[in-house]
Amino acid sequence: MQIHDFSNDQSVLNQFIAELRDVNIQKDSMRFRNNIERIGEILSYELSKTLNYGTKEIETPFGSKQMSLPKNELVLCSVLRAGLPLHQGLLNFFDKAENAFISAYRLHRDNQDAFEVNVKYLAAPSLSNKTLVLTDPMLATGKTLENVFNALKKHGIPKQIHIVSVIGSSSGVEYVNSIFPDSTHMWIATIDEELNSKGYIIPGLGDAGDLSFGEKL
């Protein structure tokens, strides 16, 4: 897997990540969602540099111009519900992409720290010979992406796979690297070193789904 980690890059991306982490700014859920969306746009731009391009002649009011345009058939697949703002950021740039959505949640039995990842809902087009872009803002253990990828296999084998995430743990990134095809690209804004006993990223930012849409029962 080729990992594109922007942790050490000096750019406005750092401002958006800092605001996501800030406990005071987090109280503004709209701003939280907007920052994830903007990070999705930045990562989309970087991802776009690796796509396949073809030349097309574009007519203008005063003539014509040969333009190099992406030709990949993209499918954007996001994990509900935390992935929705990130999905929108990608869709702002890849507006012709097909879309897929999948629910995956942690199931803690008997209030134990250990958990399983359950997949309950999946809506997706055919993935055969297309470019699959998996989006999940928080890459903690990597188990969610593993289960999502396994669930998607019945929809066909994609030609190429990209993973887009906001914050990951070192161990989660390493785990995903071990289970996805070598040709996979990962685009991640920043990586933290630790996971706590419940599998949450430290220092991380908390529960991205709750911060975006409110606490759940």
Over residues 201-210, the pLDDT tens digits come to 999 999 999 9
Q: 101-116: per-residue pLDDT in tens? A: 998 765 545 555 444 5
Alpha helices in the chain (DSSP H): 13-21, 29-48, 84-93, 143-152, 170-179, 208-213
Which among 89, 56, 91, 57 is positioned nearest to 70, based on CA atoms? 56
Has residue 125 got a pLDDT over 70? Answer: yes
Alpha helices in 153-207 (DSSP H): 170-179
Contact in structure between 23 and 208 (CB atoms under 8 Å): no
| Mean pLDDT score of the chain | 92
Has residue 16 got a pLDDT over 90? Answer: yes
| pTM of the model as a whole | 0.90
189, part of any domain: yes
Has residue 170 got a pLDDT over 80? Answer: yes
Q: DSSP character for 159?
A: S
Which among 83, 119, 125, 82 is positioned nearest to 103, based on CA atoms? 119
Contact in structure between 98 and 125 (CB atoms under 8 Å): yes
36, part of any domain: yes
Q: 71-86: per-residue pLDDT in tens? A: 999 999 999 889 999 9
Residue 69 C-beta-side C-alpha neighbours within 13 Å: 12
Determine the average pLDDT of the residues in 117-125.
81
Q: DSSP character for 10?
A: -
205, part of any domain: yes
161, part of any domain: yes
**CATH number of the domain encompassing residue 198:** 3.40.50.2020
63, part of any domain: no
61, part of any domain: no
Q: How many domains are contained in the chain? A: 1
What's residue 40's pLDDT?
98
- Looking at the chain, the whole-number percentage of residues with pLDDT higher than 70 is 94
The domain containing residue 148 runs over which residues? 2-51+69-213
